[in-house]
Structure formats: structure tokens, C-alpha cells
Structure 1
Amino acid sequence: MGTTLAQWDALRAISRSPGAPARALASATFQREQAFGTLAGRLMAQGLIERRPGHGRRIEHHLTPAGEQMLDAGHRVADEVLTDCFAPLPPGDRATLLDLLQRLNYGEDA
């Protein structure tokens, strides 16, 4: 689809936290700040994100319309992959698995 998994992950992080600085986005994508800066530079060169001045020396990151389209395309691919991965489970088992994962994620009791 014209992007890498690392680039798509960066687009997801920016989408979840529009205006976030590189430090926060690097942490969200499990990268060092310098590595994220290099990646963001590539995304900017492709027209997928833009950097804007923020408060003080802070640089904010935002998706462009092209970045939003790329992110959506990545979500469609991810949905297909997840569907294929869990297809062997019957619907009831998938629902149970989803419930268990949500409890782990949110710490909810049964």
C-alpha cells in the first residue's frame, strides 16, 4: 500500500494524539526520539504529515488528508489480516476472546 509498518504505526500515533511532540510520539511507537524524527521527516516528505510550531520550542505533528487516507488504507489491511488470523475460531470463541482481552486491557472484572 506504499508504506511500511513503522510508518503506519507513526501515522496511528499521530492520529491518536494530534499535535503531540516527537518525544511523546517516539514513546508511543517504541522508538528513540531521534529515530522518530527521521521517520517523521520521511512522512513529511511524502506529504503524509505536517509539523507545526507549538508552544516554546515544541513542534507539533498532524496528519495531512493524504496521511489520513494512508492510515485508513492501513486499517483496512490490518482488519483483513486480523480476520484471517482469527477465522479458524467459531464466532462464540471470538466473542469470548474479545471479552478476555478487553478485561486484560481495561482491568475489568467478569
Structure 2
Amino acid sequence: MTEPRPVRLPDSPLPITPQAQPEADPAPVAAGLAVERVDTSFLETLIGYNARRAALTIIATFIPRMAQFGLRPVEFSVLTLIGHNPGITARQLCATLDLQPPNLVGMIKGLEKRSLLEKRDHPSDRRAQGLHLTPAGESQLEQAQATALALEVDATPRLTPLERVTLLRLLRKIYQPDH
């Protein structure tokens, strides 16, 4: 088995060495035969690749656990923001979650139809409406958030509590400029 070559990232004084992969026999590849072990060592040096793989792992646990509430990840995020920010507007939701307004409109209608949220006149902008959870929405959100906390721990069993806190802090540094 050969050791992977270190990769030096731009603006980084330290090289990153990909995880060692078992050495592949070059003869089958050259002859056009099947690859037995896929070498992902370079991809594993990329934050985007690792973040996406981690997200897919969490989502694979999230979807079946949230099925009892009929919530997809983005609907859970929308309800959570409304629950923690009563009166938030659709525009604020779109900006916070990086959603396109047409996508949010249908989602809000669906959540309204399920009696999870309601629109109310905005106190200072006659053109806007504030979004509020109904009592049923508050109850469902409370249960869904407890499920979300548990499933994240279940989906990341190799992380210690301190590692989870560190990972969250580091990820936020990527997408929140003020952290």
C-alpha cells in the first residue's frame, strides 16, 4: 500500500494528507476491467465534499424520523424559524434559508392547509404578513425539534459532545461571516 501524497491547500501552511487507501492494482484499470476500490483520497481533502457527505448521512436519518410529522428538512427549518421568530415574513425566511420566493409560497400554503401556521397582518408593513405557528404547529414543532436533536446524535455516533460543538462552530464559520 502506498501512502497518499500530502496536498497543500491555498493559503495554508500545513499540508493535508488524505487517508491511506489500499493500493489498487493498475493492471485491471489499464486493461479496462472493473475498479475494486475507489480512491476518494483527493475528494476527502475538500471541505465541500466532506460537508456534503456528512449532510447526506444526517438527512438519511432525518427523513424517516421526520416522516411521522410529514416534514421534509426545509419544512422543518421553516417551522423552526417561525416558531422561534413569531411574525417573521416570507421575505425574511427566503433570505435566511436562501430560498426562492415561489418555492416558499407553495410550502407556506401547504403548512397552512395542515393548520400548522397562520398569516397575520404585519404590525408595521401593510404589504407584508407575519407568519405564526398555530397551537397545533407549536406542539408539532416541539416534538419535531426533540426528534431532530436525538437523530443528530444517533447519526453521528463517533463524535463526542465536544466534537459536535466544535464541528458546528467550524461549519458556521464557513457560511456566517460574523463568526
Would you say 1:101 and 2:168 are equivalent positions? yes
> Which of 5, 10, 18 is matched with 2:86 structurally?
18
More contact order relative to length (CA 8 Å, sep ≥ 6) = 1
TM-superposition CA deviations, 1:65-94 (whole Å, max 9, x none): 1111111121122122111123223x4xx3
> Which of 69, 76, 84 is matched with 1:8 structurally?
76
Could you tell me which runs of 5 or more consecutive residues in structure 2 were left unpaired when the two chains were aligned.
1-67, 173-177
Q: Secondary structure at the match of 1:52?
A: strand
Quote the sequence identity (%). 25
Q: Secondary structure at the match of 1:82?
A: helix
Structure 2 equivalent of residue 27 of structure 1: 95
Deviates more, 1:38-47 or 1:13-22: 13-22
Deviates more, 1:1-10 or 1:58-67: 1-10
Give runs of aligned pairs for residues 63-74 of structure 1, distance below 5 A.
63-74=133-144
- The separation in 2 between residues aligned to 1:8 and 1:78, in whole angstroms, is 9
User: Are residues 66 and 24 of structure 1, via their aligned partners in 2, closer, same or farther at CA, if it must alter by over 3 Å?
Assistant: same
User: Offset at 1:100?
Assistant: 5.5
- The separation in 1 between residues aligned to 2:168 and 2:95, in whole angstroms, is 23
User: Offset at 1:31?
Assistant: 1.4
Q: Secondary structure at the match of 1:74?
A: helix
Structure 2 equivalent of residue 76 of structure 1: 146
- The separation in 1 between residues aligned to 2:138 and 2:76, in whole angstroms, is 10
Structure 2 equivalent of residue 86 of structure 1: 156
User: Offset at 1:10?
Assistant: 1.1
Q: Secondary structure at the match of 2:69?
A: coil
- The separation in 1 between residues aligned to 2:97 and 2:145, in whole angstroms, is 16
- The separation in 2 between residues aligned to 1:16 and 1:85, in whole angstroms, is 25
Give runs of aligned pairs for residues 29-48 of structure 1, distance below 5 A.
29-48=97-116
- The separation in 1 between residues aligned to 2:166 and 2:117, in whole angstroms, is 35
Contact kept, 8 Å, 1:43 with 1:49, in 2: the verdict is yes
One-letter amino acid of the counterpart of residue 91, structure 2: R
Could you tell me which runs of 5 or more consecutive residues in structure 1 were left unpaired when the two chains were aligned.
none
Structure 2 equivalent of residue 51 of structure 1: 119
User: Offset at 1:98?
Assistant: 1.3
